[in-house]
Amino acid sequence: MLVSGLQCSAREDRYVPQIMFQSQLSGKVTLITGGFKGIGKATAQALAKQGAQMVINYSSDSSAADELVKEIGGDCALAVKS
């Protein structure tokens, strides 16, 4: 598994009800294509709040993808160029 052994915890957000933070996606790995902007970025952020690990795929803008990985947490996300 690409990101095996990573422990990601659900992140708190004051705008989302606390019930959402039961690590519903803890231990799950997601693949986000075009995840560094727009809907993909919002999806990546939402999945990270649920405790998911993720691979964020990008085609050209490595700096934006790396910034999102840093925001989410390098222990939970990995940027990969296609």
Task: Enter the tokens of residue 36.
Answer: 């560094």
CB 64, CB 34: distance < 8 Å:
no
Q: What whole-number distance in Å separates Cα of residue 61 and Cα of residue 34?
A: 10
pLDDT at position 17 is: 42
Domain limits, the chain: 24-81
Write down the pLDDT at residue 11.
55
The answer to whether 65 touches 56, Cβ cutoff 8 Å, is yes
What pLDDT is stored for residue 1 in this prediction? 37
Q: Residue type for 24, please?
A: Q
Cα–Cα distance between 12 and 75 in angstroms, integer? 17
pLDDT of residue 36: 84
Top-level class of domain 24-81: alpha beta
For position 8, what pLDDT does the model report? 58
The series of mean pLDDT values per 10 residues for the chain, 82 residues long, is 49 46 77 87 90 91 91 91 90
